[in-house]
C-alpha cells in the first residue's frame, strides 16, 4: 500500500478535552477496522439500545456512500469491515457490500440481533452469511427467557434460540468450521457486567444443555448511558449514579485496548466518528460538532491516514474502561 499523508490539521481537532471530562487523552494507532452503520431501521426496539433503532426509523446509507466502502478498505489496507445498524441486514445493499468486501479478502462482521433471521424475506440470510464466511456477533442479553423478553420484547428469546440453532446447523460455532459465532451480553440495568470468563462458561453450559447450542466467545458489554438507555436512566433518577459508577470503576490499563484506537465509525451519511457511541452523540472524528460542517467524511480516508490523531473523548467513555472494560469486542482486561 502506498503511504498517504496524515489527516490535515483542521481534521485533527480532539473535541472534548480530558480536562473537561476527566477521561484521559488517547490517540489513534494503525487503522484495522471500519465500522459502518448502514441505517437505523430495525425489526426490534430494545430498551438498552444506544442508537434508538426501531421499525419506524427510515435513515439509510445511500448507494454512492455504500460504493465508497470497498475503495476505502483497499486504500487503507483495512482488514475488517464491521457492519451494524439498526439491523444492517435490512439495508438492500447489505449483501452486495458483503460480497465485495469478502472478494477483497476482508473479514466481515455482522452484528446480528438473531430475530432478523426469521423475518419475512430473510429466510435465506443465515445461509448467505455462512456461504460468505461472515463472522456473526449476535446479541443475546441473557440465557434466561424472561430476562431477554423483558429487555427486548415478548417472543424474542424463542426466536433468538431458533436463530442460533439455524446458525449452528450451518456450521457456526462448530469446531474447525471456520465460521465464528460470538454472543453479546448486556446487563439488565445500570450495573457493570459480571466477569466475562465465568459468564461465558454459564452461557455455554446452559445453552448447550437446554438447546444444544454452541458458540465461540461471549462479549460482556456495559450499557452506555446515552440515547434510549440514557433517557430511561434519567427518567428513573439513576443516570448520575450510573455515571459515577462507571467513573469510579475506570481502569487505566484498559486504555491500551479500547477499539476506538484502531477503529473508525461511519454513520449512514458517510460522516466519520471515533466510535459508534460518539456517532450517536454527534461528536465527530474531527472538525465541527454538527454533521456536514467541516467534519471528516468517508471519502477523506481515500487519501488521508488517521493514525496518530487524537480521539474525541467524553464522560461516556468511562463505559468502555470501567471494571474489566468493554469495547465492542467484550472484556479488555
pLDDT, tens digit (0-9, with 9 covering 90-100), for 98-148: 999 999 999 999 999 999 999 999 999 999 999 999 999 998 988 889 888
pLDDT: which is higher, 77 or 188: 77
Dist CA 72 CA 297 (whole Å): 11
Strand 217-220 and strand 181-185: the pairing is parallel
For residue 266, report the phi and psi dihedrals to the nearest 5 degrees. Answer: -120, 125
**What is the C-alpha separation between 327 and 264, in angstroms, rounded?**
13
Among 164, 109, 156, CA closest to 137: 109
Distance of CA 311 to the CA centre of its chain: 17
Per-residue confidence (pLDDT) for residue 227, from 0 to 100: 77
Say how far apart CA 64 and CA 18 lie, in whole Å.
Answer: 36
Tell me how far apart the alpha carbons of residues 29 and 18 are, in angstroms, rounded to a whole number: 18
Q: Is 277 helix (H, G, I), strand (E, B) or coil?
A: helix
Least confident of 46-50, 61-65, 175-179, 299-303: 46-50
Query: What does the pLDDT average to over 19-27?
Result: 76
Pull the grid cell for residue 273.
466518528
Is the preceding omega at residue 114 within 30 degrees of 0, hence cis? no
Does 317 have pLDDT greater than 80? Answer: yes
Q: Give yes or no for a contact between 266 and 36, defined as CB atoms under 8 angstroms apart.
A: yes
Compare 42 and 258 and report the one with higher pLDDT: 258
pLDDT grade for 330, boundaries at 50, 70 and 90? low
CB within 8 Å of 54: residues ≥ 6 apart: 40, 41, 42, 44, 45
Pairing of strands 272-273, 263-266: antiparallel
Q: What per-residue confidence (pLDDT) applies to 142?
A: 86
Q: How many CB atoms lie within 10 A of CB 92?
A: 10
From the number of C-beta atoms within 10 Å of its C-beta (0-12, 13-18, 19+), residue 224 rates as buried
Yes or no: say if 125 and 116 are a contact pair by the CB < 8 Å rule: yes
Name the pLDDT band for 310 (thresholds 50, 70, 90). Answer: very high
Q: Which three cell numbers stand for residue 272?
A: 466519520
Amino acid at each position: 500500500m502506498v503511504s498517504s499523508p496524515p489527516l490535515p490539521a483542521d481534521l485533527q481537532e480532539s473535541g472534548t478535552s480530558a480536562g473537561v471530562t476527566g477521561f484521559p487523552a488517547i490517540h489513534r494507532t494503525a487503522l484495522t477496522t471500519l465500522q459502518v452503520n448502514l441505517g437505523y431501521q430495525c425489526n426490534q426496539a430494545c430498551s438498552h439500545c444506544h442508537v434508538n433503532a426501531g421499525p419506524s426509523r427510515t435513515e439509510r446509507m445511500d448507494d454512492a456512500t455504500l460504493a465508497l466502502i470497498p475503495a476505502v478498505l483497499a486504500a487503507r489496507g483495512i482488514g475488517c469491515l464491521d457492519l451494524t445498524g439498526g439491523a444492517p441486514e435490512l439495508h438492500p445493499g447489505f449483501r452486495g457490500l458483503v460480497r465485495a468486501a469478502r472478494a477483497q479478502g476482508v473479514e466481515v462482521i455482522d452484528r446480528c440481533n438473531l430475530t432478523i433471521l426469521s423475518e419475512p424475506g430473510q429466510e435465506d440470510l443465515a445461509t448467505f452469511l455462512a456461504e460468505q464466511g461472515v463472522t456473526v456477533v449476535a446479541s443475546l442479553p441473557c440465557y434466561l427467557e424472561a430476562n431477554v423478553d423483558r429487555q427486548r420484547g415478548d417472543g424474542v428469546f424463542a426466536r433468538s434460540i431458533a436463530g442460533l440453532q439455524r446458525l449452528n446447523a450451518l456450521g457456526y460455532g462448530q469446531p474447525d468450521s471456520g465460521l465464528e459465532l460470538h454472543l453479546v451480553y448486556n446487563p439488565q440495568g445500570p450495573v457493570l457486567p459480571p466477569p466475562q470468563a465465568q459468564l461465558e462458561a454459564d452461557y455455554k453450559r446452559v445453552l448447550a444443555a437446554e438447546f444444544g447450542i454452541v458458540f465461540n466467545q461471549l462479549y460482556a458489554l456495559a450499557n452506555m448511558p446515552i440515547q434510549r438507555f440514557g433517557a430511561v436512566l434519567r427518567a428513573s433518577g439513576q443516570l448520575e449514579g450510573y455515571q459515577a459508577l462507571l467513573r469510579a470503576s475506570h481502569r487505566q490499563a484498559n486504555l491500551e485496548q479500547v477499539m476506538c484506537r484502531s477503529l473508525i465509525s461511519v454513520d449512514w451519511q458517510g460522516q466519520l466518528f471515533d466510535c459508534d457511541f460518539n456517532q450517536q452523540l454527534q461528536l465527530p472524528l474531527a472538525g465541527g460538532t454538527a454533521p456536514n460542517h467541516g467534519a471528516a467524511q468517508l471519502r477523506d480516508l481515500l487519501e488521508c491516514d488517521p493514525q496518530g490523531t487524537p480521539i474525541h473523548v467524553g464522560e461516556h467513555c468511562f463505559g468502555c474502561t470501567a471494571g474489566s472494560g468493554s469495547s465492542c469486542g467484550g472484556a479488555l482486561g
